[in-house]
Amino acid sequence: MNNYSTFRRVNRRSPCAICNGADWCTETTDGAIAFCMRLKSERQVRNGSYIHVLDASQPPTRTFKPQPTVAPSRIISTALSDRRDAILTALLRSHLTLSNEHREALQARGLDDGAIEAAGYRSAPSARYGESIARALSSHDLRGVPGFYCAGGEWRLVDFGPGILIPARDERGRVQALQLRRDAGLSPRYLWLSSGSKPHGTGSKAPIHYAKRHLLTSAQSVLLTEGALKADVIAHFLNRPVIANHNISYPQDFAAQLQINFPQLKTCIIAFDSDFRTNAAVKNGLTNLKAQLVKAGLRATVRVWPRAYKGLDDYLLAGHAESQNSEKAQCFPCTIQCLAPQTERIAF
Using only C-alpha atoms, the chain has a radius of gyration, in whole angstroms, of 20
b/e burial code for range 231-244 (CB count within 10 A of at least 16 → b): bbbbbbbbebbbbb
* Residue type, position 73, single letter: S
Q: What is the DSSP string of 31-64?
A: SSEEEESSS--S-B-TTS-EEEES-TTSPPP-S-
> Domain boundaries in the chain?
1-75, 81-192, 209-347
Beta carbons within 10 angstroms of residue 345's beta carbon: 11
Residue 233 to residues 205, 212, 228, Cα–Cα distance (Å) = 23, 10, 9
Q: Do domains 81-192 and 209-347 have the same CATH topology?
A: no
Instruction: Find the mean pLDDT for residues 1-8.
Output: 56
CATH 3.90.980.10 fits 81-192, yes or no: yes
**pLDDT tens, position by position, 213-254:** 999 999 999 999 999 999 999 999 999 999 999 999 999 999
How many CB atoms are closer than 10 A to CB 11? 18
Distance of CA 42 to the CA centre of its chain: 26
Query: Which residue did the predictor score with more confidence, 251 or 39?
Result: 251
Residue type, 50: Y
Cβ–Cβ under 8 Å, residues 302 and 336: yes
Instruction: Please say whether the beta carbons of 31 and 8 come within 8 A.
Output: no
Question: Residue 44 carries which DSSP code?
Answer: B
Question: What values do phi and psi take at 154, rounded to 5?
Answer: -125, 145
Residue that wins the pLDDT comparison between 268 and 188? 268
Q: List 345's β-bridge partners, or say none.
A: 337
**pLDDT for the residue numbered 17:** 79
The 10 Å Cβ neighbour count of residue 32 is 19
> What's the half-sphere exposure (Cβ side, CA atoms, 13 Å) at 187?
6
Would the pLDDT of 286 be above 90?
yes
Length of the chain: 348
Q: Contact at 8 Å (CB) between 316 and 278?
A: no
Top-tier CATH class for 209-347: alpha beta
Q: pLDDT tens, 318-345?
A: 987 544 343 333 443 333 333 333 333 3
Instruction: Provide the pLDDT for residue 187.
Output: 83
Q: How confident is the model at residue 5 (pLDDT cuts 50, 70, 90)?
A: low
Contact 302, 269 (CB under 8 A): yes
Measured at the alpha carbon of residue 317, what is the angle toward residues 314 and 318, in degrees to the nearest 5?
A: 90
Average pLDDT, the chain: 83
pLDDT at position 336 is 39
Q: Is 171 left (phi over 0), alpha (psi -120 to 50) or beta?
A: alpha
**Helix, strand, or coil here: 1?**
coil
What is the Cα–Cα distance from 133 to 43, expressed in whole angstroms?
29
Q: How far is CA 342 from CA 32, 323, 326, 348, in A?
A: 45, 14, 16, 19
